[in-house]
Amino acid sequence: MLAFLVQRISQAILVMFVISVIAFAIQDGLGDPLQQMVGMSVSEEEREAIRDEMGLNDPLVVQYLRFAGNAVQGDLGISYFYGKPTLDVILEHLPATLELAIGASLIILFFSVPIGVYAAIRPQALLSKFFMGVSTVGISIPVFLTAIVLIQLFSIGVTVDLFPADTGWGQNLNSALSTEGGLPSYGRGDELTHLFGTWHSGFFSQGGLLHLILPAISLASIMLPLFIRLIRAEMMEVLQSDYVRYARAKGLQPGRINFLHALKNTMLPVITVGGVQIGTMVAYTILTETVFQWPGVGLMFLEAITRSDIPLIVAYLMVVGLIFVITNTIVDLIYGLVNPTVKLTGKKA
C-alpha cells in the first residue's frame, strides 16, 4: 500500500511539474511584462536596466525556478485587468462555480440512481427503453444548446399558436405547449448570503436558488446520460453475481436485494468514474457559465482570454491543474484502498 501511495503521489508531483512548465512557457512566450509597465518614452538602456532588475535576462531555468517558487507560496502574479493578485481573483470567482457544480451533482445523483437502477432491473420495460433512448439523444446534444433551449422555454417563454384558437381543443393544445418563462437566465442575482471569506452563497435565498435552476439543469443534462448508462451497466453485472442470486433464493425482499445489497456494490465503480469525470465537468462549466453569464471561474477564464490577461490565464491553468491532479490522485487512492486487486504497479489490466 505504501508503495502504491508513494507511486501515485510522485506521479501527481510529476504531472504538476509538467503543468507548471507549460504555464511558465505560456507566460514567457506571450507576455512581456515590461511592455505593460513602462511607456513609449523609456529608453532602451533604461529598459535593459529594468529587465536586469526584474531578472528577465536571467537564464530560463533560473526564471522558471523563481516562477515555481512563487507559485508554491501562492503568488501567481498580478492580473492585468483586475490589478489584484490572480489567486485572489480566482478565489473570488470559485464559490460561484462550486455552487453550480454542487447543484448539478445533486440533480445527477437524484435522477441517475433511480433511473439507472430501474433500467437495470427491468431492461425490457417500455419506460427503461424510453430512458435509454433519451440518454442516447442526450449525449448528442451539446451543453450550450440545452442551455439555450432551456432559456427559450423557461426564461423567455414560448407562445404556440399552431392550432386554431377558436376551438376548445386547439386552445387547450396551444396553452399546453406554451411555456410561461420568467426564470432568471443571467448571473446569480443579488440576494447572496455572505458565508465566510470570499464565499457569497446563493443557496440560502429564493432569488439565489431561482438563478441556480437553469444553469444547474443544463450542466447536469450533459453528465446525466453517462451516469444513467454507467449505473445501469454496473447494476446489471452485479445482479448476475452469485450473492444476489443467493439472496433471491433465500427469499429476501426484492427491494432489499436491489437497493441494499446490489446497489452498494454498484456505486463503487460509479464513484470512481464520477471522480474522473470532474475534469469533464470543469470544461462544461466554462460553457454553461458563458451561456448564463454565471460569474464563476469559467467565465472569468474566458474573459481573461479575450482581454489577453496572461497572468490570470496562467493562474487559472495552475489552479485547475492542481484541482485535477488532487482529485485524480484521491480517486486512485480510494480505488486502491477499497479494491486491493488493483495492481501496485498502477498499470490498468
Residues that bind another protein (CB under 8 A): 11, 15, 18, 26, 29-30, 136-137, 139-145, 148-149, 151-152, 156, 276-277, 279-280, 282-284, 286-287, 290-291, 301-302, 305-306, 308, 310, 313, 317, 320-321, 324, 328, 347
- Whole-number minimum distance, CB 224 to another protein, in Å? 16
Name residue 29's amino acid.
G
- For another protein, the closer of residues 29 and 59 by Cβ is 29
Task: Annotate 140-182 with DSSP letters as a single string.
Answer: TS-HHHHHHHHIIIIII-B----S-TTSHHHHHHHHHH-B---
User: Which residue bears the cell 485547475?
Assistant: 320
- Whole-number minimum distance, CB 204 to another protein, in Å? 29
- Whole-number minimum distance, CB 145 to another protein, in Å? 5
The number of C-alpha atoms within 13 Å of 77 and in the hemisphere containing its C-beta is: 23
- For another protein, the closer of residues 252 and 323 by Cβ is 323
Q: Nine-digit cell at 3?
A: 508503495
- Whole-number minimum distance, CB 328 to another protein, in Å? 5
- For another protein, the closer of residues 69 and 133 by Cβ is 133
- Whole-number minimum distance, CB 57 to another protein, in Å? 22
- For another protein, the closer of residues 310 and 315 by Cβ is 310
Extended strands (E) in 266-326? none
- For another protein, the closer of residues 192 and 317 by Cβ is 317
In angstroms, the CA 67 to CA 327 distance is 24
- For another protein, the closer of residues 127 and 139 by Cβ is 139
- For another protein, the closer of residues 156 and 260 by Cβ is 156
- Whole-number minimum distance, CB 154 to another protein, in Å? 13
Ranges of H-type helices in 181-241: 206-239
Rg for the chain (alpha carbons), in Å? 26
- Whole-number minimum distance, CB 60 to another protein, in Å? 18
- For another protein, the closer of residues 258 and 277 by Cβ is 277
What are φ and ψ of residue 277, in 5° steps?
A: -70, -10
Measure Cα distances from 99 to 96, 138, 273, 296 in Å. Answer: 5, 23, 21, 9
**Which residues contact residue 226 at a Cβ distance below 8 angstroms, ignoring those fewer than 6 apart?**
139, 277
Maximum separation of any 2 CA atoms in the chain, in Å: 90
- Whole-number minimum distance, CB 321 to another protein, in Å? 8
- Whole-number minimum distance, CB 110 to another protein, in Å? 24
Measure Cα distances from 10 to 4, 86, 307, 311, 349 in Å. Answer: 10, 27, 36, 27, 21
Task: Annotate 46-92 with DSSP letters as a single string.
Answer: HHHHHHHHHTTTS-HHHHHHHHHHHHHTT---B-TTT-SBHHHHHHH
3-state class of 335 per DSSP?
Answer: helix
Q: Which of 23, 80, 79, 33 is nearest to 55 (CA)?
A: 33
- For another protein, the closer of residues 170 and 200 by Cβ is 170
